[in-house]
């Protein structure tokens, strides 16, 4: 598996942005919402982050991207100059905390905006965001690392041929929060499921259904260039069911933390997560979702901007190790300010 070069640790540890020294409190632009189906989740994440950044250290500057793509300030007032006005606010901040999940946010779009504005930002860079958001590309990276993924067919139309045994899972290639995801057991219903997924993306994955325990692992890139792995978390669902959009956000999700796994399973989960974190070029925090089957691990997907409210999986994982939610946010902002990507 991939390891972190010692030179990376040295470079990160000795590089510090002059912005940190310039003011008593660090101005953090927290961007929420988003022009996608995960808009509400992005609002919740941004509100939680802005409220939980330690006010003695940070001055949170709230910005929101509307469903229509228009930007507004903390009071909900739209910027007359649109994106140009938003960039002016961002440029006046020390660091950006992008809290936009899904397309036009997590996929590297906001990272690109921050790069062009010359402002440090929390989380993965352009390439890592784009790769991890693309489930087909992520499969190729995982398989190259020797990490199994579900057998899949890439389709672009409901009439495309799919030679996989039923049941299958139909999902958009680049979308999140399980929007457009359907489990299909009847071949007659496949075309309709593909049509639904095509509402969210122009490419669709049809995957062989994997029966196994759903285990998540989070990796946090630290300010000194190291990586910290949280304890595995199990999502318990009924046999044959999916952890869908409703169960993710209606408060009924059954999380088991830490997941009860063997020492060998824990080692393999950790090793696979670190290998993917490095190979994709992730930064900040990323969540790796696996199925644990009798035949071993199967990667489901990678999230470079996972849910980040205090009750989301990743903050829960690290809180169980003693890293409280405000401290996790502080670690993310500090890492963004101190190191080149």
Pick the CATH number of 6-123 from 3.30.360.10, 3.30.300.130, 3.40.50.20, 3.40.630.30: 3.40.50.20
Q: Are 287 and 306 in contact (CB under 8 A)?
A: yes
Residue 175's pLDDT is: 82
Q: Among candidates 276, 282, 336, which has minimal Cα distance to 126?
A: 282
Task: Record the tokens describing residue 162, joined without a space.
Answer: 């799919």
Please, which residues have CB within 8 angstroms of residue 306's CB and are 6 or more apart in sequence? 218, 285, 286, 287, 312, 313, 314
Residue 10's pLDDT is: 27
Task: Record the tokens describing residue 71, joined without a space.
Answer: 């930007």
The CATH number of the structural domain formed by 152-208 is 3.30.1490.20
Q: How far apart are CA 223 and CA 336, in angstroms?
A: 8
Span(s) in the chain for CATH 3.30.470.20: 131-148+211-338
β-pair partners for 176: none
Q: How far apart are CA 332 and CA 215, in angstroms?
A: 23
Strands, E assignment, 17-121 = 26-33, 58-65, 71-72, 95-98
* Residue ranges in the chain whose pLDDT is less than 50: 1-22, 244-245, 249-250
Residue 20's pLDDT is: 41
Q: Are 255 and 232 in contact (CB under 8 A)?
A: no
Span(s) in the chain for CATH 3.40.50.20: 6-123
* CATH architecture observed for domain 131-148+211-338: 2-Layer Sandwich (3.30)
Residue 237's pLDDT is: 75
Rounded to 10°, the helix 135-144/263-280 angle is 120
Residue 16's pLDDT is: 33
Residue 14's pLDDT is: 28
Q: Among candidates 341, 338, 340, 308, which has minimal Cα distance to 94?
A: 338
Span(s) in the chain for CATH 3.30.1490.20: 152-208
């Amino acid at each position: 598996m991939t390891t972190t070069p010692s030179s990376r640790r040295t470079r990160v540890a000795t590089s510090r942005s002059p912005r940190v020294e310039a003011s008593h409190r660090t101005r953090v632009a927290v961007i929420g919402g988003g022009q996608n189906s995960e808009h509400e989740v992005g609002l919740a994440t941004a509100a939680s982050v802005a409220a939980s950044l330690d006010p003695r250290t940070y001055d949170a500057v709230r910005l929101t991207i509307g469903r229509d793509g228009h930007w507004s300030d903390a009071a909900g007032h739209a910027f007359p100059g649109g994106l140009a006005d938003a960039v002016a606010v961002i440029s006046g901040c020390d660091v950006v905390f992008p809290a936009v999940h899904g397309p036009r946010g997590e996929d590297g779009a906001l990272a690109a905006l921050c790069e062009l504005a010359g402002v440090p930002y929390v989380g993965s860079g352009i390439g890592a965001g784009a790769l991890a958001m693309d489930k087909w590309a992520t499969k190729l990276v995982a398989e190259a690392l020797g990490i199994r993924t579900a057998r899949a067919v890439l389709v672009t139309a409901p009439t495309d041929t799919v030679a996989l045994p039923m049941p299958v899972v139909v999902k958009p290639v680049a979308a999140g929060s399980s929007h457009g995801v359907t489990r299909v057991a009847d071949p007659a219903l496949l075309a309709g499921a593909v049509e639904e997924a095509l509402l969210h993306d122009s490419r669709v994955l049809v995957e062989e259904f994997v029966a196994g325990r759903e285990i998540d692992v989070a990796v946090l890139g630290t300010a000194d260039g190291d990586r910290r792995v949280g304890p595995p978390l199990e999502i318990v669902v009924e046999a044959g069911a999916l952890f869908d959009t409703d169960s993710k956000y209606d408060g009924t999700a059954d999380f088991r933390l830490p997941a009860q796994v063997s020492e060998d399973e824990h080692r393999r989960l950790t090793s696979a997560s670190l290998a993917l974190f490095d190979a994709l070029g992730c930064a900040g925090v990323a969540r790796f979702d696996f199925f644990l089957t009798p035949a071993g691990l199967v990667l489901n997907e990678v999230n470079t901007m996972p849910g980040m409210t205090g009750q989301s999986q990743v903050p829960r994982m690290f809180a169980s190790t003693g890293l409280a939610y405000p401290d996790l946010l502080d670690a993310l902002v500090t890492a963004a300010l101190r190191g080149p990507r």
